[in-house]
Amino acid sequence: MTTPIEAQAKIAELSKLINHHNNLYYQEDRTEITDFEFDKLLEELIQLEKQFPEYLEPDSPSQRVGGTITKEFETAEHEYRMLSLGNTYSEEELIAFDERVAKGLGHRNYEYFCELKFDGVAISLVYEKGRLVRAVTRGDGTRGDVVTENIKTIRNIPLHVKGKDMPDKFEVRGEIFLPRKEFDKINQERDSQGEPLLANPRNAASGTVKMQDSSVVAKRRLNCYFYQLLSDELAVNQHDEAIRLLEKWGFNVSPTYTKCSGIKEVLGYIESWKEKRFELPLDTDGVVLKINDNDQREELGFTAKIPRWAIAYKYKAESAESQLLSITYQVGRTGAITPVANLSPVHLAGTTVKRASLHNANEIERLGLHEGDTVFVEKGGEIIPKITGVNLYKRKTGALPIKYIDHCPECSTPLERKEGEAKHFCPNYVSCPPQILGRIEHFVHKRAMDIDSLGTERIRTLIDQGYISNPADIYELENIRDQLLGLEMSQDQYEKTDDGILYISLTKAFFALTEGLSLTAIQKFCDSQIETPLTEVLNNFQTFIRNSHKKVAQNVATILKLQEALHQSNLPQMEDYLPVSVVLSLLTGNRITLDKLIEAARHQGTVHAILLKLDLSLNSEQEERIKKLKANTFQEGVISNMIEGINASKNQPFEKVLFALGIRNIGENTAQILAKHFKNIDNLKSADAEALLAVNGVGDTLVSSIQDYFSKNENLSIISRLKEKGLHFEIHEAEKILQSNTLEGKKILASGKLNHFKRDEIIDFIEANGGQYLKAVSKSLDFIIEGEDMGPSKKEKAEKLGIKMISEEEFLSMMSKTDLI
Ligand SMILES: NC(=O)c1ccc[n+]([C@@H]2O[C@H](COP(=O)([O-])OP(=O)(O)OC[C@H]3O[C@@H](n4cnc5c(N)ncnc54)[C@H](O)[C@@H]3O)[C@@H](O)[C@H]2O)c1
Ligand SMILES: [Zn+2]
């Protein structure tokens, strides 16, 4: 039994903890615990407060909607309070909820409206005379932030609506979300720019809605599902009818809703979406059920925080057991090491899971992982599954604890760990391959040197084979083009474990080890085995060979040998991949011992590289079979295309070159400002702190990263080599000279697709003629050049502000460029 004194202390402690997590979740868009853990804390608080009502504080988190307003926006009061929802993870509690409803109404004559619970941020939109007048966040439930401008950039939020039965004034509520595809795209882009990744789509959506710059919001393709219509003059009295009205008026409603006549049907609905929901384009975390009839809703009423006529059933993150096969240590672009667990395949939350991120050494220690452990894997709101614990009963006797690596798996440099940081780093900035890759990818990026013929795969190949290690090397490739012919290109078929042991995809291995079977057929077979553990796949492949009737005896014999060799090699197992050394030992016909092969394959990135190192004399049949193992190779066409792109990049203007160098803290805009201000790299290099700080937007951090960059000899030598190759290290003459002052004092924006200018060109053109280019629609614009397909929201805003819009043709004739028309 809890004593009152204990209860009081516990209530205070829980309240503090919950407030802390609420603050992180709503203010900073991040989380330290899962929703399930959070909900358990809240439930514990509610139970204690029920038991000891004397300690229930009016501002307890059990009594308040979790969010608050921010300081950055104007606020507005909600006409109808915006509440939270009660939630549960169990069927029993759902049935108990249904009992309370029946008791409250005094009968069982009611229907539920069910739909999925979308994981995003709540928004309230007010329409007057069919026009969107205000968008407000939920805030503390009573007042929220006014974010109308941001919301207007979301494409399928209608600015105007028309329709039958539409009241003069109404409010719609919905959930703004970031589709998972958009989320992945943003993260891919951030990854390639070396920026930190967004944690999950919900946080990303919430952070975006509260951004200060609407044009950034517009770039993130947010979307919205509407789920509630409110008005004093509604013609309908059933929720499903109101939803149908919303659909008719053009609001985006998720097609997942249904009406259920009792809790049993609701449970069926919940079950039917349990797995199917993963096919939806957005994250969902449960089902919301609401009483369908408005009068009945009124009868049931509200508590301080939630309606009594609705509840959310939340799906528990699914958990499964799996075996830890090995750990791969990935080296990121900044040198940060991330351990990844390779697992035996398990079916979880609609997908087959074979890997889980372990984050860092602390996580491995916290879990107490031992080799070959059976672990619990969970997949919740986050996309990457995680290991939540170890099944100690299944630990093998004598299993050793996982020992974290102390050398970089890519370049063997001893790792470092800065104080207070969880991650280990490879300090080898200059020659660690993934770090070089990060810098070169930035250099060739379309917003930098724009060399799109140098994709990641090609760059990685060139780095791995020692042909490039910095941007200047790219411009030397032309001179060694004959050496590039035949280089192995794709790395996708390879994978490495703990200490740099190279593995190759099953498909390639099977293809090389057998005769008469096509790569496509083998690929198809492997695809069908995704959920099968490797040991079984090897057996199934023998059946596959028998069914194919192609060289059965010989092919099966090879696979039997493979199984034997895998067993003897004692190398860690990785699903879908086989150790290259074992495969090569079979293909080279025991010309060399397995041990020697394993040794040679350590720290090599391709079959090609291993063979170069071993220098075996192989017969032509062996060579042919090994060739089947290799990836695509560089061919003449690819090489020409690459060199062409590299040469074309020499025309990029100074500001792009400056951005491409990758000096820390110099983004695209800063590069532009610095290029304009200093005119050439030498002026920039010799500028002292005072001169740098005099430039608008330059602060101390930037000063020190610029000075740091130019103090390094290797950077100076790269610049001088690039200069020799003809890259622009000063601004172009034409950019310096004003072509005319026709546009002097004019503030101009161009929107939509133009026929005679690219985006950058129109900006340069306006500036070269004395005008100023503005990036967003605002009152201060003199006119807008309206191109094809100008964004509707921009257009509407411009119309509202009464800004003059002219066509591209009118603009050209104004500039006396009639020759272009
Ligand atoms: N992990 C953490 O640290 C942490 C911290 C705070 C809150 N949380 C999580 O946030 C949630 C609490 O937040 P809440 O108070 O916003 O409640 P809620 O998100 O659980 O429920 C209310 C909200 O659900 C949304 N919703 C989505 N689909 C809906 C639909 N079809 N119909 C009606 N509403 C729909 C609405 O925006 C509404 O405001 C809990 O699930 C909790 O686990 C987690
Ligand atoms: Zn390294």
Ligand nearest to the CA of 62: 1
Residue range 462-475: average pLDDT?
92
- Ligand 1 near 119 CB (within 6 A): no
Provide the pLDDT for residue 694: 87
Cβ 138 under 6 angstroms from ligand 1? yes
Instruction: Report CA(285)–ligand 1 centroid distance (Å).
Output: 9
Q: Which of 60-69, 140-149, 184-193, 592-601 has the lowest mean pLDDT?
A: 184-193
Q: At 793, which amino acid appears?
A: S
For the beta carbon of residue 228, count every other beta carbon within 10 angstroms: 17
Q: What is the pLDDT of residue 381?
A: 55
Q: How far is the CA of 435 from the centre of ligand 2 (A)?
A: 8
**Ligand 1 center–CA 120 separation, angstroms:** 8
Quick one: the chain helix, strand, coil %, rounded to 5?
A: 45, 20, 40
- Residue 107's φ and ψ, nearest 5 degrees, are -160, 175
Confidence of residue 337 (pLDDT cuts 50, 70, 90): very high
- Tokens encoding 739: 């072509």
Please, what is the Cα angle at 561 between 556 and 564, to 5 degrees?
130
Ligand 1 atom 9 nearest Cα:
35
Residues 6+ apart with CB under 8 A from 725: 472, 475, 650
Highest mean pLDDT (candidates 78-87, 415-424, 757-766) = 78-87
Quick one: which of 604, 346, 401, 588 has its CA closest to 500? Answer: 604
- Indicate which atom in ligand 1 lies nearest the CA of residue 174: 37
Residue 229 has pLDDT above 90, yes or no: yes
For 497-502, what is the mean pLDDT? Answer: 78
Mean pLDDT, residues 511-538 = 91
At residue 817, the pLDDT reads 64
- pLDDT of 349 over the 80 cut: no
Residue bearing the CA closest to ligand 1, atom 40: 35
pLDDT number for residue 738: 61
pLDDT over 70, % of the chain: 97
pTM greater than 0.80 (yes/no):
no
Q: What is the pLDDT of residue 479?
A: 93
Q: Tell whether ligand 1 has an atom less than 6 A from the beta carbon of residue 382.
A: no
Residue from 10, 40, 117, 613 carrying the catalytic annotation: 117
CA atoms within 13 A of residue 244's CA, in its CB half-sphere: 12
Mean confidence (pLDDT) of the chain:
89
* Cα separation, 577 vs 506, whole angstroms: 5
Taking 90 as the threshold, does the pLDDT of residue 301 lie above it?
yes
In this prediction, residue 763 carries a pLDDT of 84
What are the distances in angstroms from CA 382 to CA 27, 179, 317, 639? 19, 14, 10, 41
pLDDT at 498 over 80: no
- Mapping DSSP onto H, E and C, the string for 358-388 reads CCCHHHHHHHCCECCCEEEEEECCCCCCEEE
Nearest CA residue ID for atom 37, ligand 1: 122
Q: Read off the pLDDT of residues 236-246 as tens digits, 9 standing for 90 and up.
A: 999 999 999 99
CA of 720 to the centre of ligand 2 (A): 26
Residue type, 416: E
Q: Which atom of ligand 1 is nearest to the CA of 122?
A: 37
- Identify which has the larger pLDDT, 196 or 799: 799
Q: What is the pLDDT of residue 192?
A: 65
Confirm or reject: Cβ of 122 under 6 Å from ligand 1: yes
What is the CA(125)–ligand 1 centre distance, in A? 18
Closest CA to 572 of 512, 508, 495: 495
Could you give the CA distance from residue 336 to residue 548 in angstroms, rounded to a whole number? Answer: 46
* Chain-centre distance for alpha carbon 799: 36
Instruction: Pick the more confident residue, 378 or 313.
Output: 313
Task: Report how far ligand 1's centroid is from the alpha carbon of 116 (Å).
Answer: 12
Q: What is the mean pLDDT of residues 178-200?
A: 79
pLDDT per residue as tens digits for the range 679-729? 999 999 999 999 999 887 788 889 999 999 999 999 999 999 999 999 999
Ligand 1 binding pocket includes 25 (Cβ within 6 Å): yes
- State whether the beta carbon of 38 lies less than 6 angstroms from ligand 1: yes
Find which of 34-43, 94-103, 297-306 is predicted with most confidence, using mean pLDDT: 94-103
Q: Which atom of ligand 1 is nearest to the CA of 66?
A: 15
Residue 6 has a pLDDT of: 92
User: Does 424 sit in the ligand 1 pocket, CB within 6 Å?
Assistant: no
Token digits of residue 148: 């109308």
Whether residue 275 has pLDDT greater than 80: yes
Q: Helix crossing, 580-587 with 506-513: angle to 10°?
A: 10
Distance in Å, CA 464 to ligand 2 centroid:
12
Q: Are 136 and 146 in contact (CB under 8 A)?
A: yes
The arithmetic mean of pLDDT across residues 17-29, rounded, is 87
Q: Which of 65-69, 254-258, 408-412 has the lowest mean pLDDT?
A: 65-69
Task: Determine the residue of 137, 175, 176, 230 to mutate for testing ligand 1's pocket, defined as the one with the most ligand atoms within 8 A of the Cβ atom.
Answer: 175
Average pLDDT over residues 637-647: 93
Tell me the pairing of strands 310-314 and 87-88: parallel
Indicate the annotated binding residues for Zn(2+).
Answer: 408, 411, 426, 432
Confidence of residue 188 (pLDDT cuts 50, 70, 90): confident
* Whole-angstrom distance, CA of residue 296 vs CA of residue 315: 27
- What is the rounded distance in angstroms from the CA atom of residue 480 to the CA atom of residue 61? 68
pLDDT band at 468 (very low <50, low <70, confident <90, very high): very high
The length of the chain, given as a count of residues: 821
Between CA 124 and CA 121 the distance in angstroms is: 10
* pLDDT the model gives residue 652: 94
- Residue numbers in the known binding site for NAD(+) are 35-39, 84-85, 115, 138, 175, 290, 314
Buried b (16+ CB within 10 A) or exposed e, 30-45: ebeebbbebeebbeeb
Q: Of ligand 1's atoms, which has the minimum distance to the CA of residue 36? A: 43
pLDDT at 819 over 60: no
Task: Report the pLDDT value the prediction gives residue 491, as an integer from 0 to 100.
Answer: 63
Residue type, 705: S
Residue stretches of the annotated binding site = 35-39, 84-85, 115, 138, 175, 290, 314, 408, 411, 426, 432
Q: Which pLDDT belongs to residue 490?
A: 64
Residue of 78, 88, 202, 288 with the most ligand 1 atoms within 8 Å of its CB, for mutation: 288
For residue 117 and ligand 1, the question of a CB distance below 6 A is answered with yes
Mean pLDDT to the nearest integer, 397-401: 92
CB 196 within 8 A of CB 167: no
Q: What is the ipTM of this complex?
A: 0.94
Residues 303-325: what's their mean pLDDT? 91
SS3 category, 696: coil
Q: Does residue 208 register a pLDDT over 70?
A: yes
Average the pLDDT over each of 472-476, 669-673, 730-734 and give the range with the smallest value: 730-734
Residue nearest to atom 36 of ligand 1 (CA): 122
pLDDT of residue 382: 57
The finding on whether 306 has its CB within 6 A of some atom of ligand 1 is no
Q: Which domains does the chain have, with CATH numbers?
A: 4-55 (1.10.287.610), 78-314 (3.30.470.30), 329-426 (2.40.50.140), 433-487+635-647 (1.10.150.20), 494-627 (no CATH), 652-736 (1.10.150.20), 747-820 (3.40.50.10190)
Answer yes or no: is pLDDT of 297 > 70.
yes
For residue 647, give every residue at least 6 positions away whose Cβ sits within 8 Å of its Cβ, in sequence order, or none.
478
Ligand 2 centroid–CA 506 distance in Å is: 27
Query: Catalytic residue at 219?
Result: no
Atom of ligand 1 nearest to the CA of 285: 41
Residue 733's pLDDT is: 60
Task: Indicate if ligand 1 lies below 6 Å from the C-beta of 85.
Answer: yes
Whole-number pLDDT of residue 740: 77
* CA 108 from centre of chain: 46
**pLDDT for residue 216:** 82
Determine the pLDDT at residue 25: 87
